[in-house]
Amino acid sequence: MICWSAPSAQASALLEKHLSLHPQIQPKPSPLFPKNSFSLTPSDLHLKQIEGKKKKRLILLSLLFLIAYGSTVGSYVWDFLKKQKELNQLEKEVAQVRPLYQQIRKTSFDWDALQPALNPDRYPLELMMQCVSLLPKENARLTLFSQNQNKIILQGEAKSAEIALKFTTDLKNHPPFKSFKWETPPPKLLPNQTAQFRIEATYSYASPAE
């Protein structure tokens, strides 16, 4: 047992007797600091520190949330603005060609509407001559040719129903009349044995203006 000062004789005797310890006197050594230090913080300071940490954590979480929220909203806004830019570009491109294509379309509509005056194939005279060219030179005659914009009515007489039917079939198969829709009721037999026919044809591609 090491002692920094000499113990009393009574104390030395007691130590020897009960604990079998022999006191050795040595000078007091200089204090040694422990390798692993620790601190004992006052409780109010400790509470403040905990509160500060909580606050820091809350600020950090809020910051993270704000960054996440900002980047989500930002990406949507970015995407929206990008699309808006593309849309504006598209609008600009279309606006450039719009007057031109509208003019082309108007010209096309006008041209179609003017066809009865411009296209000789649509002249009633031409249609009538085409009909007459298919009529047999003898034994048949036209008594009425009527035209109303996109509709033609032909009425005539033939010596027999067979001649009338042949004329009707020839009309339907004649190339200039391919764009017409034909209504050909059977010819009517008159008391003098002649067959009276009435044929109606409608132009299939008439524009709404006609």
Partner 1 sequence: MRPLQNNEKRLAALFIFLIIGYAHLRGYEEWQATVRRNTQKEIDLVAEKNVAAILMESQSISTERLKFLSEKQPVAKEPDLASAALIDTIQKSADTYQLKITDIALQPTQSLPHAFQTSATVKLTGKFENVVQWLYQLQGPENFTTLIRSSIKSDPNPPQVIAEFEIARWYKPIVPKP
CB of residue 38 vs partner 1: minimum separation in angstroms?
A: 36
Region for 149 from its dihedrals, namely left if φ exceeds 0, alpha if ψ lies in -120 to 50, beta otherwise: left
Nearer to partner 1, 93 or 162 (CB): 93
CB of residue 116 vs partner 1: minimum separation in angstroms?
A: 4
Q: Which residues pair with 203 in a beta bridge?
A: 180
Site for partner 1 in 118-147 (CB under 8 A): 118-120, 123-125, 128-129, 141-147
| 85 touching partner 1, by CB under 8 A | no
Tokens found for residue 153: 């009515």
Please give the single-letter amino acid code of residue 95.
Answer: A
CB of residue 160 vs partner 1: minimum separation in angstroms?
A: 19
Nearer to partner 1, 2 or 144 (CB): 144
| 3 touching partner 1, by CB under 8 A | no
| 83 touching partner 1, by CB under 8 A | yes
DSSP code at position 62: H
Part of the chain binding partner 1 (CB under 8 A), chosen from 14-22, 37-45, 104-112, 159-167: 104-112
- Out of 6, 63, 67, 87, the only residue in the binding site for partner 1 (CB under 8 A) is 87
| 90 touching partner 1, by CB under 8 A | yes
How buried is residue 13: exposed, middle or buried, by Cβ count under 10 Å (0-12/13-18/19+)? Answer: exposed
Part of the chain binding partner 1 (CB under 8 A), chosen from 9-17, 31-39, 106-114, 159-167: 106-114
Dihedral angle sign, alpha carbons of residues 6, 11, 13, 14: negative
Q: Report the candidate in 27, 17, 20 with the shortest Cα–Cα distance to residue 1.
A: 20
The SS3 assignment for 196 reads strand
Strands (E) across the chain are located at: 2-3, 24-25, 140-148, 151-158, 180-183, 188-189, 195-203
| 194 touching partner 1, by CB under 8 A | no
| 165 touching partner 1, by CB under 8 A | no
